[in-house]
Chains A and B, each alone.
Chain A
Amino acid sequence: MSSGSSRLSISAVVISSLLFVSLSILSSMAEATTKPDEAAVQIVYVERPEAEEPEAFHIRTLAAVLGSEEAAKDAVIYHYKHASSGFSAKLTQSQVEQLSKPNIFGKSHKGLIFVGLGSRVFFRLYLVGPTASMDPGQALLESWGCELTSQERNSDLPNCLKGFYGRSLSSDLMFCVKNSETANRLLEDLVLEKWFSTDSGAKMDFKLRRPLEASSNASSSMMSEISRNLKPGLPFIQCDSTNICYGARQEQSFSEFPPPQVIQSRGLYAREQKTETKSQLEPSSAVNDLVMDWNPRLMLSNLSFLEQKIHQVQDIVRSIISQEGRANELAAQQQLVTADLTYIIIQLISTAGTLLPNIKNALLSATPPVGQPGVMANLPVNASQKQHEVLPMELAKASEYDELIKDLNSGGEGDELIKCLNNSVAEVSESIPIEDHDIKDYDDGLDGENLPPGSYEVLQLEKEEILAPHTHFCLICGKGFKRDANLRMHMRGHGDEYKTPAALAKPSKEASSEPAIIRRYSCPFVGCKRNKEHKKFQPLKTILCVKNHYKRSHCDKSYTCSRCKTKKFSVIADLKTHEKHCGRDKWICSCGTTFSRKDKLFGHVALFQGHAPAIHMDDAKVSGTSDHAQVGETTNGMVANMGYNFSGNASDDAQSLDIKDVDDGQGYFSPMNFDACNFGGLDEFPRSAYDVSESPFSFLSTGTCSFIPRNSEN
């Protein structure tokens, strides 16, 4: 415990030194915009109450602002009780401010709201609606003092920031949507740091950190973090499984695990990385302040923190041993242990990394674990799943999550990261090893070939050329053709010189005589990995690849699926592929399983005994009703006239028919008169196979119409 107290003092010092900087920033922003009377859905994160029900606690907290508990109950939309502690409610700006101000230490600001309750402070980022004067994304960025390159300003940034517009709280996720590259860049630019001293209870610090001024603003909250973790009796939540999934949601990670920590350029990724970068950053700030290779105090605190961690893991494992049987708890705990151990390992590595002389190199060398493909691929998905589970309110944005995930998976951020790194850390040479670690697979980029640069000729088509519907143009009249052969046929009309066999022959014939040059294509979009200017240029194989790549990556998605109305595509072939299996799951098994493909259903049915393909209820109903209608129509229209109703009492009818048959005397005098049934075998009269009535209607009976022969006495 002695080490804990020493850390505490350090933390207090550091925080107090930084308080001014951050507060000044805050005050500068506070003037910008607030709309006090506009109520919007807000998510307020509070500390998880220890003594009472979370809901009651939430209501009590809110009641302080809204006046009564009833009002509070009405206002609350959702309680977050499991993964995080908090609630969502419709609140006006002033209420938010009130909520964050009085009883606690909290601060509201144009872009950020920090709400602290009790002994700890939680943090919430949210974005205000668009200002009248300027693009909100732009405004936000500029208010943060971000410098955007002209290209970013012009091209994809407004697009990628679409998520800002008019979004209320749940839009915080939109920070990283639309375009992962920009999102990353944005996050880099808008790195948020917040620290809270827990035990002191009176200190709040948050910090906006921009890469450009990273060194000056670097600060540490290590102490507070550690002290919090050391606080006896506190759940070890930062290692909870729910916390693994930070990726998409910054604020959630903050809510539960207020990391004392700069979100590094890879802030979107896992907690491991965050913690690890944290440990890297601390020294960096320390270096700048103290001009020292490494901080022994920090190292000490790191190590003791690690020690504490290991103890906690031990505790968990012990509890696992003691309470066997409950499967889901066990699983959760195992996950906890795994996460903890991972954390410890990374912490160890990063701690060791601080020993290296060059901070920046240390910082960079710490990133490789982050860059591991497995981590990359898994985390975002994981994150979104958790998100869906935990915060139902945000499910509405599922599609955007998906997009986000896709973007994250499809990569691209690696290069951006490097670029940003290059921008921000000018001294870092391009040959630093991290770049190699950052190579990632592109979904569409993996050509499976590794042509050495220079072994092929690179062509770059212009944008207009790529988007042109025709690829062959007549040089004389400008008419466009899809095929060269058609163009050559067309050229004949321009004069006799084009009619020679040589002119009409395939031009490729001469070309084929030469050794074939390997041609590869470059995307005309500057900054794209497929652009030849790009450092890690990956060429495209064919013109078709260029077209599809350009349309997919750099054009608006103009084709909307007509069924789901949500999916958009820029290549029509993609749309068609999607439409093949869009909409309802067409193929259903009797067990309830749905399949998007018929052969999968039949494979399933063939595999399992007793399963049968299910018929769509609506189909069955339609045909059923039509049948009924038809029958009804016929019955109404005809049977009534003809005086015979089939559905009548069968036995009675039989009786009467029989008697009639017997009565007419025919049966006796003319024994050939058959009665109701054709007695076996007399129906052998050959009928053509197509002798089937083609009419959809037919008639039941005509009993009353037939003449009864009375001639038997002759």
Chain B
Amino acid sequence: MAESGDLFRRIRGRDGLATLALDLFSTTPNPSPCSYSGSAKRLRLGDAIPAAMVAEEDRHDLVDSLSEEILFLILDRLESEPLDKKSFSLVCRSFYAAESRHRRVLTPLRSDLLPAALARYPLASRLDLSLCPRITDTALASVSGALRSSLRSIDLSRSRGFSQVGIGNLAVNCAALVEINLSNATDLSDAAAAAIGRARNLERLWLARCKMVTDIGIGCIAVGCQKLRLLCLKWCLGISDLGVGLVAVKCKRLRSLDLSFVPITKKCLPAVLQLPHLEDLALVGCLSIDDEGLISLKQECKSLQVLDLSNCQHVSHAAFSSVLNKAPGLRQMSLAYNGLVTHSLATSLQKLSKLQCIKLDGSEITTSGLGTIANSCKSLRELSLSKCSGVTDEGLSSIVMKHKGLVKLDVTCCRNITDFSLASITSSCTSLTSLRMESCTLVSKEGLRLIGQHCHLLEELDLTDNDLDDEGLRAISGCQKLCILKIAICLKIRDEGLIHVAKSCSKLQEIDLYRSVGITDTGVVAVARGFPLLQIINLAYCTGITDDSLRSLSKCSNLETLEIRGCPQVSSLGLAAIAVGCQKLTNLDIKKCYYVNDAGILFLACFSQNLRQINLSYCSVTDVGLLALASVSCLQNMTIFHLGGLTPSGLSAALLACGGLTKVKLHSSFKPLVPKPLLEHIEARGCVFQWRDKPFQVELEPSEVWKQHSQDMHVPDL
């Protein structure tokens, strides 16, 4: 039975591909990606099947005669379309084989798929295991055996369960390995570090949060991996000056070094700064570094381009100035969360002629400081003043007037700036591609209109929690390159404004309409039509939307994230439409969609096979729905609170059936009801339970903030 089915499908697949192949040959020899993509889609959707039924033998020969180079060329064009590649590989044996040899990146969804993947793709050079929470030494051994010569990069940052044995296997067998990400391997010891040290060709190594690794381990790495270019030791609390010093002595090729939150002192800094090629140095949160250490530094690091000194609380700006003077080639600098930024600190920036990016998030900035920055950095392109206090119209204006080439500007939560700032920003920095100004509450709706009127190159715009209205949106519609638009908690916007945007910004991929209570189906329909590339949409607490919105959104086939939390008018019908239409959906939040029941979930379980994360709280889903959902093999993350129809046994069955779970949030009342051995078993599979005792809240009660906003607006409900 299975064989015949297989045969049947193969024939059909092959014929379909034959059509594709003919299409290919009929077009220009060097066709555009679109034509391939389009053809592939036709194949996938079965358009060519009738033709295929009458296909002849010579066509088969034709397909088989395609050389591998040509197939590779085709596959190159399909790189962004994984589904098409899958279809491609199902055409025939030669196509299958070609696809196997072509693929370089493997990202297994579950660890049990790893052997199959390794067998099928022997030439993969990059293995991303970040979706496999448990990777054993045996698995790593099979990886090192299967990809012995080809593996160049492996990501184990989200995996556990392996030890130095597995790493040693990789390091010894995979001679081509240049990149290992071992972040979050909190239980890895020095022995594992010594095993890494055997990978002589390693160039990039991430060891973030490897808290057990000590100086001895990093010493082994420093001696063994002398070709290292990038080393991330963030949060490696076991490492001290000695280890870092040795790294600096041994790994002379280092370009990038991340020492954030490592308990180092000034002792290792001279050696680090003497690295001849060091370009990127992060010293975030190095609390042991103090003024004295930085001021006494003699070395000048001319190669340094990126320096992150955020959160160094024991360093005053005199020390910062001294460091900045040592790095004349600096392009990017971050002094976030370091307290006061004054004129004197800013003057030290004057010598940094190449400085392009300054991040001063969370600092306290004086106007004179801003003025000095304005006068000093000639080539400034990016400026982040997020959450800075003391940013005034005067200071900000002085900067934007001087730096007309500013590309990115972040003034999130700079609550003192007014329309005046915005006027100067929009008038001088017309080449802005990114503007983030969440919660600039003093800016009026008139001011916000200026953005759309002047900054036509904007790609990212964050106007969350502002006084934006439809007129503003209408102006924004002039930004045709817009990809990301965040207009959450702009309570004044209505469908009309959204329609304006939808008409022009066809490239939009992400829109945030959280608590935009004025939005109804009309607006969402316009959004769905206007943004065909939409990937992320947040409609949480947009209480006006119904199933119609979802039906229209189901046409956005790229949709990956959908949040419709607290939309009580949405029902299973809408969800079913989404499930059928948006098959790339990975993240779904339907909390407090009271009318979503098992029927909707069943559709979801059937069609949304890519679903990874779901929030089902307060829905009318029962055991049946949950069990069906458990069949989604990708599902990793579930939040289930206050499901009326859920019984402990149903929950148990669902948990048991859903093998890929990594995190489940459950109400703590279930904890005693679910059998303990079962929980232990699930936990042993790599799943984490978070038991929360959340009170049952039926009403959608807006918090004080929303009430305050709604006072001067004519929003009827909430």
Contact = CB atoms under 8 A, between A and B. Distances in A.
A602 to B, nearest CB: 4
A671 B45 CA distance: 8
Interface in A196-223: none
Interface stretch (B541-549, B581-589, B710-718): B581-589
Nearest to B586: A685
A516 interface: no
B648 interface: no
Contacts of B113: 657, 676-677
Given A612-B223, A612-B224, A711-B606, A598 B86 contact: no
B590 interface: no
B163 interface: yes
A650 B115 contact: yes
Contacts, number: 280
Which one of A602, A624, A653 has the highest number of Cβ atoms from chain B below 10 Å of its Cβ?
A: A602
B215 A598 contact: yes
A132 to B, nearest CB: 58
Contact of A700 (B112, B146, B220, B637): B112
Interface size class on chain B is: 35 or more
Contact of B44 (A598, A671, A683, A687): A671
Nearest to A703: B112
A653 B118 CA distance: 10
A575 B272 CA distance: 37
A599 B610 CA distance: 52
A677 B117 CA distance: 6
Interface stretch (A71-79, A178-186, A631-639): A631-639
A671 B12 CA distance: 14
A672 interface: yes
A28 interface: no
Given A615-B191, A623-B164, A638-B684, A672 B115 contact: no
A646 B115 contact: yes
Interface size class on chain A is: 35 or more
Given A605-B223, A638-B685, A685-B586, A674 B609 contact: yes
Interface string B65-79: 000000000000001
Interface in B344-372: none
B298 interface: no
Interface string A136-148: 0000000000000
A693 B119 contact: no
Nearest to B536: A686
A698 B131 contact: no
A658 interface: yes
A146 to B, nearest CB: 58
A677 B160 contact: no
B71 to A, nearest CB: 16
A671 B86 contact: yes
B108 A599 contact: no
Nearest to B659: A702
A670 B131 contact: no
B245 interface: yes
Nearest to B606: A711
Contacts of B119: 650-651, 653-655
Contacts of A646: 111-112, 114-115, 136, 138-139, 142
A67 interface: no
B6 interface: yes
Contacts of A653: 115-116, 119
Contacts of A703: 112, 659
A153 to B, nearest CB: 55
Contacts of B106: 677
A198 to B, nearest CB: 63
Interface stretch (B53-61, B182-190, B436-444, B448-456): B182-190
Contacts of A678: 82, 107-109, 131
B111 A693 contact: no
B295 interface: no
Contacts of A663: 2, 5-6
A709 interface: yes
B392 interface: no
A676 B216 CA distance: 40
B662 A675 contact: no
A1 interface: no
A613 to B, nearest CB: 4
A606 B245 contact: yes
Given A677-B108, A677-B113, A700-B136, A659 B610 contact: no
Given A659-B6, A670-B607, A675-B86, A702 B660 contact: yes
Interface of A: 587, 598-599, 602, 605-606, 610-615, 619-620, 623-624, 627-628, 630-631, 634-635, 637-638, 644, 646-648, 650-651, 653-655, 657-659, 662-663, 665-668, 670-687, 691-703, 705-709, 711-712, 714
* Closest 3 pairs between A and B when the two form their complex, measured CB to CB: A702-B659, A698-B686, A679-B82
Given A683-B131, A695-B688, 16 more contacts: A602-B242, A602-B243, A624-B163, A631-B137, A634-B136, A665-B9, A666-B609, A671-B44, A678-B107, A685-B586, A686-B587, A692-B160, A699-B681, A700-B111, A706-B658, A709-B609
7 contacts: A606-B250, A613-B219, A654-B117, A671-B44, A674-B83, A694-B688, A696-B187
